[in-house]
Homo-oligomer: A and B are copies of this chain.
Amino acid sequence: MSISNRQLEERKMRQDRILLGALDVFKDKGLDGATMDEIANSSGFGKATLYYYFKSKEEVLSAILEDGWRNIWESLEPVIAEQDSPRKTFVNVLIKIAENAQNRPGLFEFLFNVPKAIKLDKQPWKDYQHRLYAVIQGLLEDGVKKGEFPQVDPQLMFKALGGLFMGLVFMGDRKEPVTDKDVESLLNELITDPKINN
């Protein structure tokens, strides 16, 4: 016998535990400030063990990002799949994203903010990111075309959303996480349905 199924699962759990600890340290100390020693402590393993599960510090970071983005994307797929009006789908997508954010707030903020600090491309998670942006952009354009949104330039709308969701806040500083209240007001106040409106 080689590797049992349970063994694989346990290995995965340990990896996840490492990733969890690493996320804490990354958030606290920043990408470069975080050391493998701290990550080892924070995740409850010895430093060398980290290298048994991951090739490098960079790979630890990559794993966090890819896991996170894949989860977001996979949670969105069904919402996108069911063919609704652009507006309905758009709303559902936002709600689903907010849901994700609620489940793991720290991770979510990290996922949306870290890409700005990263230099090298060819990261597999960027693919998920681009897909998500493309979908949102497309929904906005379709919705506006069909008159389901106010006549807002989709580009502008997208950037405004960026302000909300990607922590691209005016002062680079206070990056409070997005709450479901934010999303609700966004829906109710920013995107009042013109048909309903008057």
Contacts and interface: CB of A to CB of B under 8 A. Distances in A.
A39 B113 CA distance: 26
B173 A169 contact: no
| Interface footprint category on A | 35 or more
A196 interface: no
A169 B164 contact: no
- SS class of chain A's interface: helix, strand, loop or mixed? helix
A170 B116 CA distance: 11
A32 interface: yes
Interface of A: 29-33, 112-117, 119, 126, 129-130, 132-133, 136, 150-153, 156-175, 182, 185-186, 189-192, 197-198
List 8 tightest A-B contacts by C-beta distance, closest first.
A163-B163, A162-B170, A115-B172, A160-B160, A159-B167, A32-B32, A162-B163, A162-B169
